[in-house]
Structures are given as C-alpha cells and as structure tokens.
Structure 1
Amino acid sequence: LRLLAPPLFAVDLPIPDFGRSAGESGAAVVAVSGGGVSLADSGFSPDPRAVIALVWAAGALMVIGFAIAQSVQLRQILAASGPASPEIASRVAVLSRRLGLRRAPPTVQVLDLVPPMLWAFLGSVRLILPSDLLARLDPKQTDTLLAHELAHLSRRDHWVRHLELAALAVFWWNPIAWWATKRVRRAQELCCDQRVAELLPENRRAYADCLVETARFLSGRGLPLGSPARAMADMTQMKGRIRMIMSNPHSRRLSLTSKIAASVILVAAVTITPMLTAQPEERDYSGEPITLSIKDADLNDVLATFAKISGYEILVEPGITGTVTMNVEQVPWDGALVSIVQNQGLEWERSGNQIIIRRAGSEKTVPAKPVKASPPAPPTAEVFNSNVHKYVEGGEIEPPEALDKLPPKYPPEMRKAGISGRVVAELVIDQNGVVRDVAIQESPAEELSAAATEAFEQWTFEPATMDGKPVAVRYIVTVEFKLK
C-alpha cells in the first residue's frame, strides 16, 4: 500500500503479534468446526486513507490507459494511411503560411471512419483527414476545414491536450475538472471558427456548410468521450457557431449570454436535429404536400423548382450559392423551403406574392433578384472555348457588365510584408454571365493571385452581347491591392 499510495497519504499497516495468545486483541483466531474454516474478528480495519489512495490510483491509471489506447488505435490507423493528394498538400501549405506557421504539418488521408484532427505524439504533429469526408466537400469547404484544423495548430491547442490529460489524471474524481475540459474544448472550437472567418471571410457560407456536413459525417460514429474531435461534432453548440460565422465574423469576444449558455449545454440534448434530418419544424404550414429526394443539388436550381411549385416569385440576394441534400415525404412545400433556407444559414420573408431570401444579418436595402436555374454545363471544354469571343474595346461586342463584385481579401501575410500591386486577369464569362475560367496574366505575388482568383470566381455579370444576343467572351479585369 505504501508503494501504491501517493506521497500525500500516510498508510499505517497493522502488524499481528504472533507472540500473543489466541485470545488476545490483535491476533487472528481460526476456528475449525464441521470441516469449515472461519476467521474470527481480529480487530483489523483498513485505513480509509489507504482505500482512498487505491481508488485514486486506479482512476488515474484508467484515464492514462484510455489515452494510451486511443494513441495506439490512431497509430494503427496511420500505419495504413497514405499521403494527402498534391492538391490537398498544396492548400495546406498555402493556408499554413497565411496562418503564420513556420512549416506545414505532414498531412495524411485515411479510409477509416475517423474525424478530421491534429494528432501530436512526442513532438510530432500530423493532420489526419478522412477521405470519405473530403469527397463530400467542395474546394471552398475543404479550405475552411483545413484552415480550422491548422488554426488549432497555430494556437498550440495540442499542447493544451497534454495539460488536460495531466489534470484529468490527477483530478478525475472531481466533476469540475471534466466540466472545465469541456468548456476549454468548446472555447477552442469557437476561437478556431473566428480565425477561419477572419482568414476566409468570403467563404463563411461554405464554412457553415462544411460544419453541417462534417456533423452529418460524424453522426452515429460513436466518438469516445475523450476524443478531441467530439467538440467538432458537438451538436449542442453547432447552431450558435453557424450563427456567429454567418452574422458577425469580426467579433472577437463571446457575449455573456454565450458564456452562460456554454454551462447549460453540459446537460442539454442535441438541439439541431432538424438541421441534420432536414425535416422542418412543426408549424402552421399551408402549402401543398410534396415528396422530394435530392442530393447535392444546386441551391438556385432547387429554389427555381420551389418557385414553380408554389407559384411565388422567389427573389434571392446576389451571390447566394450552395448545395442541398434533402429527403422528405408529403411535407408542405413552404415547410420544406423553410428547412432549406435555415440549413443554408439564410433568412427569408414573404411579401405579397414574393418570397425574399437573404444572407443572415444582411441589409434589406441590398436588391434581391428573381432566382434562375443554373445554365446547363457545356458538353466539352473544347466546344465551349471555340465559341468564346475576344472582347476588344470599340469592337462589335458590347462588354459584360458586373452585377456582383466581391472585393478580394488582402492576405494578411502580404500586408505585413508590405507587398502590394496590381493583379490583371482574363476571365472567361459565358453567355449567362457566369465566370467559367480565370487566367492570371500579371501579379506581384502568388498569394495575391490566389486572393484575386477566389474573388473573381464569385463575380456575376450581365453577359456581353453581339447583335443583341448574349455571347461568351474573354474579358480583362484588374484589381489593385493597396497598402493604407
């Protein structure tokens, strides 16, 4: 007992005196009767401090053993993993630089059903990405996922994990230790959400979609209680995270309400089940029942379908895009529409014979336009390119007119390094005003090219015309990155 108990406990062991008679106090008395053996009361009772020490040691060993078992399991998964694709590795390198990391962590893709995570062991850090999840995400969503995990690395959250383990091993018996660990991990997720919103403000909607898609991927996986990825899959705070990302990306402080809510969340059940099941809330919906089964459908195509079903004119704020996955049966169309709008992090209002859909927190002065289904994709790139005209000022082609120009985000590392200049690009704008391709022709830095390209791809135009008919054109645009 002295070897097992921590130093803070003094353990006194009773030692029987074999020189005493059988009837004296402290000696064991063995009585034989009818072939049975019984131990009479010897006056021995275990020291409560020794019992407490044993229980404490057993609990500490269980916490440490659980952590070791998780580490061994991850090492087995990594042994069967492969390096990330060149495209993913390139994006990890770019985002690592933008986050101020000295070097990008080694990145691996695994086929096992594991959550995306940073794994640190003996000073070595790896970024683990499940291939099945990456297959569900588009490039913008993938960037936000990578930025989130790299934000953990830039904050040194993996070192905090080691401190958490040490604290839980010592204070496993104290519920406050487990409560504090949950609070710390949720605060880390919120801080990383904030970092992603600052780093990729133009991808806030894609980030919200990424969180929901990741939650769907992780649902039902049975993550262990100690898994660092449980915070990423925690449904009880997902709704608040999405609201923060969509409505106030520049806020650096948690409100008092959020802090109070964090403690209530400890005993709350899942609160955003409707977001994951796509089943609308029970309200007084009066629309005709519909049955709908779609997967990764274009948001504007879906809204155009609802406009035909409902007879309403659906107006959408420019720049709103996304994909929709839904499976409902005999649900009022207006209830299904509300579910789609809420899952996309948008707001809506009905006015007369119009339904207006906007970004959450958007000014109502921003004009909304009738939703249009996406144009069919060209049969092949060669056929499309053969019909693209070169715009020449003063020629017979009327130039395209920009409708929605998202300003490019100045990369923080470029601003810090004092790098500025002009980026010139040739856009291929099709006959529907959609940017099909971006070719950078002049740029002072690769990071500025990437920021400009990301913005150009989201621009929309009134198409160029020739003889009164819309045509696809190659059109030169320029943006200036200026230091204030």
Structure 2
Amino acid sequence: MTDLINGVVQASVWLAVAVLLLAAARPLLLRLGGAALAYRSWWLLPLVLAALCLPLPSAPMADAAPMRAIGGVLRAPVVPAEAALWPMLLLAAWLAGALAMAVAGWRAQRRFERAMGPLQPRGDGSWRASADPGLPALVGLWPPRIVVGPAFEQDFSPAEQDLILQHERSHRRHGDPWANAGLAVLRCVFWFHPLLPWAARRFLRDQELACDARTVDPHPALRRLYANALLKAQLVHPVAPMACHWRSQPLLKERIAMLKEHKPKALPWMTGQVLTLGLCVGVGTVAWASQGTPPSIRAEAPASAPAAPGDVDAKAPDLAPPKYPKAAFEQGISGKVVLRVEVDAVGKAGNVRVLSSTPAGVFDEASIAAARQWTFVPARRDGTAVASVLRIPLTFELDESGPAL
C-alpha cells in the first residue's frame, strides 16, 4: 500500500516537472515547428509516466542475518493503530476522487450525446444530429463519428463544409479521440494535481491548432475561407470529454492568428523535431533513473574462485528490530517479511522495498519504517566502499516469555 502511494506521489512530481518544462519550451517549439510540433511535445507526459513503470537493472543481493521482532505481553512497544491507518485513508481518498472524476466525465459525455438526439447518416460518411449542443464535432471513441448539426448546410457554404469535414477527418486519422481518452484517464488518476487542469486546457488547444495547421497548410489559398468558417459558427465551450469540437471560443483569436502564419522552413522544423525528441528521451531517462540509485554491479566470480582481497559484502550489525504493529499484537498475528534494502557507500539505507510478506500487508509498514533508520557497514570492493543491496528476512512472533524490545 505504501509503495502504491509513494508511486503516485513520485509520478505526480515528475508530471509537474514535465508540464513546467513544456510550458517553458512551448514558445520555442512554436517558432521552430509551429502548432503541430507543440502538440507533439505533449508525448512527454505519457513517456515520463511510462518510464517510471520500467524496472531498474537488477543488482545482486547479499543475504543478511535473519531478525526477529518478538511481542511480549505488556512489555513490547507497539506501533499505534493510528499510524497504520493513514495509508488506508489516503488510498481511500485517492480512489474516491478518481471515481468521482470518472463518473463526472462519463455523465458529461452521455449528456452531450443525448442532447444531439437521433443521428442520421449522410452521404459523405458523417452523421446529422437532430439537435445542436455544440456541433460539428468528432464524437465517441470506438468508432469515432463525425456529427454535424441539423442546419449544417444552411450555416456553411459547400467549400466551408468540405474544410470542416477535412478538419474532423484529420482528428480521426491522427488518433486525437484516443489522446483525449488518455487525458481523461490521466485526470482521473491525478485528480488532485494542481497543474493538470491547466495542462489539459493547453493540450486541447494545441490539439485544435495542430489540426487547423494540418488542414490548411496544404491549401494556403483557403486560409481566409477557413477563418470565415470559424467565425460563422456559434461559439460555445466544449462540454464532452470524448469529442473534438470545431467550436472553441477560448482560442478563437489564437486559431485565427495561426492561420496568418507562414509554414516554417525545413531547417528550423528539423531542429524542432530533434529538440522535442531529445526533451522526451532526456526527461524520461532521468525520471526512470530517479526510482532509486542502482548499486554498483560487478560480474560475479565462479563459485570455485576465491573472493578478491578486500571484497566484503555489506553487513547489518546490531540493528534495532521493528516495533510490533498494535493491531497485529492485539489479534495475536505472527508473520514474516523479506526486505530489499539498498545500502549506499557510507552505510545509510536508501530505497527499501518489500519482496514478500506473510500475511500480506500486515507487517510491511513497521518493517520499512525500521529499515529506514538502520545504519550498515558498507560493502567493499577492492578495498573501496561501494553501494550494494541486502536481502533481510524479518520474523514477527508473539512470545510471552520473549525479551522486551
């Protein structure tokens, strides 16, 4: 449970770092590659989160001496029950917030789709709605459908209709509905993140600007016609999370201004691609490495070969055993935990992880809390202190005749 909470916190920190980097780099990306490059740079967020899920290289672990935590009646110090409750309360609050966000998004999508009324197919592959809650739009996820309003032909000329349909087809061709679905999942998981609402708004704006550029750049002469089609639409705020809306009042000026820009030259465009790729790979690599400091790894000699002089594994002398959890003590529960403890070159405990526990989750908190306070004798390689990893088994037993802790 603690590992899950720590993982969410670490992901939240890196999500904030990625958003701030994108906000700082966006003006440069717009100059180098236009709206399409700025939209492509948002790949940084899922790549950073994916990097945090990749495991670090495994390192050889030395076995430490087993340790016992014995709970004696009225003599053993125990962990207060309240100390073990806060991870459960945090997890419950996080799950409740994620569920509330998911329900709110689902209801908004259903409300928008019901407001369209019955749909009728059109000859060009799109659909005509009976009402207009904010159309035209690319609606849904599987399959996404282009839906126009009941007065589509009356509101727009044939040339403008063709541009609007090209715009929505470009959304579908580039998988923008799936990108919106990923954004919806991200907002559910990180509903508490203070920067995510701004990032979501900026992402959707860049999505529309990039789609405008893809639609108009091949036909520069149609820029004025495209701008007129934007101005003709009754402007409303998008209300469906799984829809790519043609109408977007908050960025109308920005979309019109983008249409006046010229297509960037080849050299700056290539520079922007390299910059975006380097940003994603670099930040993703740093996020991956931040999960823990991997210890020095050396090739292990064959079992028959003698150890090199000066090579000594890390040791754990006279470590204070963990305190017996109060709930387990009162219920008479015993168990075992095996810890993986990273020890740095000065003997301090770094990352601590539970390899196995029986019963699951009962003694994890007490074991990790104790391990983070331990001081070790660091391992030595060729006479030099190095980082290493220890596997430490812990046994929790109840024994009335056992020594007080």
TM range (shorter): 0.3 to 0.5
Instruction: Give the number of the structure with larger relative contact order, counting CA–CA contacts within 8 Å between residues 6 or more apart.
Output: 2
Structure with the higher helix share, 1 or 2: 2
- Structure number with bigger Rg: 1
TM-score, scaled to structure 1:
0.36
Structure with the higher strand share, 1 or 2: 1
